[in-house]
């Protein structure tokens, strides 16, 4: 564990005016409160907060952030309270510690709906004071560095959460070094074989080619010296996960992957950045399409740098980043550069962004999201995005994620422009709406009165803002279809009770549910915002309450002798409400098949083994598995919406298997636990109404009968 004097020395290196007494008091207070607590590795628990504080000193952060790191677990894990921390260390530090505690309690890897709500809370915490997130990221980094002490299942959960949430968040904040380390640590847990394979190939490559980094670095320095450009050059091999991801994205083997080395050039001035770029392009061949100028068009988190890729020795591609020292400081610490100290004073870095403005801009994109899943999808889309810069016909700059299309551009200008879009011109030429916009292009949107968004636009758009606006418009367009589906669901639900879904009955339901007429009831029922049971209960509460007692699963089938047990056939998966027949097996009881099951042909010559059975009438528990064969669009967030839709129908997914993956669609088998055939009908009707579902059918496999029957 780092001693207090050593920690103070780390802070003093960049802030000689640090309040040593404050840090020492926090250190002693935290150590006393955590006395007797141990990590799973056996180390004293307080070694963790100290390590988190040490990580934050690498970013040269202020005393309040360092003290927060030392105390970040006290309110959650010890007898300390907010008021006590506030009395001892002031309200600023108490608020920061309380903010970290609330973030820790967010279950970010929980269900989709809950996860979306927690993301909202995370953004709210960020908007109050971004240092809360800086402490949380450092906390996660140290936990990932020491993750081996955890149980395997806990390791996997934390690693997935790190890969999905914390790593992209660090990248979005401009802390690329932290993102890369978090990704690689998570990769080591989630795919140790893949990472080990990359490392082995790296070692083999180094043996074959020698020290490529040293040679190329030397070549660059020599060229800069000849041109009189003052610059420092650093080279490194990319992280294993970065290489793995590139292999997956480009579907290339390691031997065909080229740009696995990266080089950084640090110059004295912005002018020297462009001079250095000229020197590199004169000496080595530039790779087309791999040039980005983030100096003239900075990222929203303050990042500035020139990126280029060139063919180096032996045709090997290498990526080069060129920036000044001040740009480099922001590139290393991202938004955290706002709090950085140098020589005891807050660094006046002209490229450091105002955290309040940065988070406000990020949060603004999600404010219009009403749907939990759409909000979550938008957050993840924006956090993972890399930006391109394009221009309006008037020359205004528009920032969009990499891969954005004219649809995204139109909605970035205004929702009204997006909804009315009928075409686009890029650099004066008419292009399809699915065209990917490149850096520096000028985009003009062509609009027409009466135009409405198309469902196919959801596959074309990449930004969360565009997708949300398109869905809102489609909801209005699809209202008629939802009403029609709602009518079918209502008819089925009321007939199940021996009633009819007349206009008068639906008007009563609307009045009791406090909705604006029967049309609204049917629309919400069709879009799965209401369940059929909720609508029936609003009209006939007594009839629905009488059926609350579920049927015992052991007596769900009528026609068996007292000593006989039964199993549902895996081949046809019969559900309560369907016609069934039983086949007897010596020592195995009875296997129940649907009356139309193809596997029954095997027993046609054995009539003595057949039993005439039927399901017990009443409410069955949702434990009967049926397999659905779905074809869905291959787009971000589609699978999440499908799973949420099934959950909204009160059905549970017990297994999911991809059977076909194509660039534009996925085909998958989903095992769903259901009450009865009516429940299956409701789930399938809801899925058919989803625009991203191309086809849905019940899946039955006669070959499964042999596996069950032995």
What is the C-alpha separation between 335 and 57, in angstroms, rounded? Answer: 15
What is the C-alpha separation between 378 and 507, in angstroms, rounded? Answer: 37
Highest mean pLDDT among 20-29, 174-183, 189-198, 481-490: 20-29
pTM of whole model > 0.75? no
Of the listed ranges 1-5, 371-375, 532-536, 677-681, the least confidently predicted one is 371-375
Q: What is the pLDDT of residues 279-325, one digit of tens each?
A: 999 988 888 877 888 888 887 777 889 999 888 656 677 889 999 98
Of the listed ranges 2-6, 354-358, 482-486, the least confidently predicted one is 354-358
679 contacts: CB under 8 Å, gap ≥ 6: 575, 622, 649, 650, 651
Question: The domain 4-190: what is its CATH number?
Answer: 1.10.3210.10
Taking residues 628-648, what's their average pLDDT?
Answer: 87
Q: Is 231 left (phi over 0), alpha (psi -120 to 50) or beta?
A: beta
Residue 574 confidence (pLDDT) above 90? yes
Q: What is the pLDDT of residues 418-473, one digit of tens each?
A: 999 999 999 888 988 989 888 778 899 999 888 888 878 888 888 878 888 887 78
In the chain, where does the domain assigned CATH 3.30.70.260 lie? 624-709
Q: Please tell me whether residue 28 adopts helix, strand or coil conformation.
A: helix
How far is CA 626 from its chain centroid? 28
In the chain, where does the domain assigned CATH 3.10.20.30 lie? 358-477
What is the C-alpha separation between 573 and 178, in angstroms, rounded? Answer: 49
Taking residues 494-506, what's their average pLDDT?
Answer: 85
Q: Are the C-beta atoms of 447 and 424 separated by less than 8 Å?
A: no
Taking residues 158-170, what's their average pLDDT?
Answer: 82
% of the chain surpassing 90 pLDDT: 18
Hey, which residues are catalytic here?
76-77
Predicted local confidence at residue 221, as pLDDT = 92
Q: Which residue has the higher pLDDT, 123 or 554?
A: 554
Q: What is the pLDDT of residues 46-104, one digit of tens each?
A: 899 999 999 988 888 889 999 999 998 888 778 888 888 888 999 888 888 888 887 77
% of the chain surpassing 70 pLDDT: 83
Q: Which residue has the higher pLDDT, 181 or 476?
A: 181
In the chain, where does the domain assigned CATH 1.10.3210.10 lie? 4-190
Residue 25 confidence (pLDDT) above 90? yes
Q: Which residue has the higher pLDDT, 595 or 440?
A: 595
Three-class HEC string of 119-163:
HHHHHHHHHHCCHHHHHHHHHHHHHHHCHHHCCHHHHHHHHHHHH
The closest alpha carbon to 203, from 310, 185, 195, belongs to: 195
142 contacts: CB under 8 Å, gap ≥ 6: 48, 51, 52, 55
Taking residues 406-429, what's their average pLDDT?
Answer: 91
Predicted local confidence at residue 648, as pLDDT = 80
Three-class HEC string of 238-290:
CCHHHHHHHHHHHCCCHHHCCCCEEEEEEECCHHHHHHHHHHHHHHCEECCCC
The strand pairing partners of 608, in sequence order, are: none
Q: Select the CATH number that applies to the domain covering 624-709 from these four: 1.10.760.10, 3.90.25.10, 2.30.30.90, 3.30.70.260.
A: 3.30.70.260
What is the C-alpha separation between 571 and 593, in angstroms, rounded? Answer: 8
Q: What is the pLDDT of residues 225-277, one digit of tens each?
A: 999 999 999 888 778 887 777 666 555 555 455 567 788 999 999 999 999 99
The closest alpha carbon to 141, from 180, 173, 112, 172, belongs to: 180
Taking residues 158-168, what's their average pLDDT?
Answer: 83
Q: Which residue has the tokens 């954005």?
A: 404
Predicted local confidence at residue 486, as pLDDT = 85
Predicted local confidence at residue 601, as pLDDT = 86
Q: What is the pLDDT of residues 526-549, one digit of tens each?
A: 766 677 888 888 888 766 544 445
Predicted local confidence at residue 616, as pLDDT = 80
Q: What is the pLDDT of residues 107-158, one digit of tens each?
A: 555 444 455 555 555 666 665 677 888 898 999 999 999 998 888 888 888 8
How far is CA 625 from its chain centroid? 29
What is the C-alpha separation between 668 and 618, in angstroms, rounded? Answer: 32
552 — pLDDT class (breaks 50, 70, 90): confident
Rg (CA), the chain: 31
The closest alpha carbon to 523, from 469, 491, 481, belongs to: 481
CA distances 140 to 55, 78, 103, 580, Å, are: 11, 20, 12, 54
What is the C-alpha separation between 691 and 666, in angstroms, rounded? Answer: 14
Of the listed ranges 498-507, 657-666, 685-694, the least confidently predicted one is 685-694
CATH architecture group of domain 194-346: 2-Layer Sandwich (3.30)
With both helix axes pointing from N to C terminus, report the angle between 517-526 and 503-512 in degrees, rounded to the nearest 10. 80
Q: Which residue has the higher pLDDT, 42 or 667?
A: 667
DSSP class of 442: B
Give the CATH class of 358-477.
Answer: alpha beta
């Amino acid at each position: 564990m780092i001693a207090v004097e050593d920690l103070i020395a780390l802070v003093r290196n960049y802030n000689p005016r640090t309040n040593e007494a404050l840090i020492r008091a926090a250190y002693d207070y935290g150590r006393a409160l955590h006395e007797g607590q141990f990590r799973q590795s056996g180390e004293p628990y307080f070694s963790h907060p100290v390590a988190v504080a040490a990580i934050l000193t690498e970013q040269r952060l202020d005393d309040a952030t360092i003290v927060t790191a030392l105390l970040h677990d006290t309110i959650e894990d010890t007898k300390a309270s907010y008021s006590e921390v506030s009395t001892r260390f002031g309200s600023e530090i108490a608020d920061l510690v309380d903010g970290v505690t609330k973030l820790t309690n967010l279950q970010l890897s929980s269900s989709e709906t809950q996860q979306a709500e927690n993301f909202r809370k995370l953004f709210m915490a960020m908007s109050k004071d971004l240092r809360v997130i800086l402490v949380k990221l450092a906390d996660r980094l140290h936990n990932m560095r020491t993750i081996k002490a955890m149980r395997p299942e806990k390791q996997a959960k934390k690693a997935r959460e790190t890969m999905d949430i914390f790593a992209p968040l660090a990248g979005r904040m401009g802390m690329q070094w932290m993102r890369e380390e978090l990704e690689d640590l998570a990769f080591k847990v989630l795919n140790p074989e893949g990472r080990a394979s990359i490392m082995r190939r790296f070692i083999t490559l180094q043996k074959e080619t020698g020290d490529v980094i040293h040679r190329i670095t030397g070549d660059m320095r020599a060229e800069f010296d000849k041109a009189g450009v003052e610059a420092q050059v650093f080279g490194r091999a990319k992280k294993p996960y970065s290489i793995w991801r590139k292999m997956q994205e480009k579907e290339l083997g390691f031997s065909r992957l080229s740009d696995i080395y990266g080089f950084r050039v640090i110059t004295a001035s912005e002018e020297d950045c462009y001079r250095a770029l000229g020197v590199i392009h004169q000496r080595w061949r530039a790779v087309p399409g791999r040039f980005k100028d983030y100096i003239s068009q900075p990222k929203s988190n303050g990042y500035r740098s020139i990126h280029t890729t060139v063919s180096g020795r032996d045709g090997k591609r290498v990526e080069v980043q060129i920036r000044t020292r001040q740009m480099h400081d922001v590139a290393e610490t991202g938004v955290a550069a706002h709090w950085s100290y140098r020589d005891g004073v807050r660094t006046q870095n002209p490229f450091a962004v105002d955290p309040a403005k940065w988070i406000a801009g990020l949060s603004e994109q999600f404010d219009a999201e009403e749907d939990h899943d759409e909000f979550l999808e938008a957050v993840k889309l924006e956090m993972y995005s890399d930006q391109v810069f394009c221009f309006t016909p008037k020359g205004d700059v528009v920032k969009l994620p990499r891969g954005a299309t004219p649809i995204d551009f139109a909605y970035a200008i205004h929702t009204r422009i997006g909804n009315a879009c009928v075409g686009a011109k890029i650099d004066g030429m008419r292009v399809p709406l699915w065209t990917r916009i490149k850096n520096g292009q000028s985009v003009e949107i062509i609009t027409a009165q009466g135009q409405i968004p198309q469902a196919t636009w959801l596959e074309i758009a990449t930004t969360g803002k565009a997708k949300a606006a398109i869905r809102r418009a489609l909801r209005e367009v699809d209202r008629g279809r939802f009403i029609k589906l709602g009518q079918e669901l209502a008819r089925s639900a009321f007939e199940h009770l021996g009633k009819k879904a007349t206009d008068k009955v639906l008007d009563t339901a609307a009045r009791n549910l406090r909705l604006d007429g029967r049309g609204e009831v049917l629309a919400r029922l069709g879009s799965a915002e209401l369940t059929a049971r909720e609508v029936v209960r609003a009209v006939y509460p007594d009839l629905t309450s009488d059926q609350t007692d579920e049927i015992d699963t052991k007596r769900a089938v009528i026609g068996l002798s007292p000593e006989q047990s039964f199993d549902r056939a895996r081949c046809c998966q019969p559900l309560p409400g369907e016609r069934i027949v039983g086949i007897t097996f010596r020592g195995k009881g009875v296997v129940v098949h649907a009356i139309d099951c193809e596997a029954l042909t095997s027993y046609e010559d054995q009539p003595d083994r057949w039993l005439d059975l039927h399901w017990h009438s009443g409410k069955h528990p949702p434990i009967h598995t049926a397999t659905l064969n779905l074809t869905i669009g291959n787009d971000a967030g589609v699978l999440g919406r499908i799973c949420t839709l099934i959950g909204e129908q009160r059905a549970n997914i017990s297994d999911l298997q991809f059977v076909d993956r194509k660039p534009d669609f996925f085909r998958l088998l989903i095992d769903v636990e259901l009450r009865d055939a009516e429940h299956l009908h409701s789930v399938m009707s809801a899925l058919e109404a989803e625009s991203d579902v191309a086809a849905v059918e019940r899946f039955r496999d006669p070959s499964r009968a042999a596996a069950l029957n032995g």
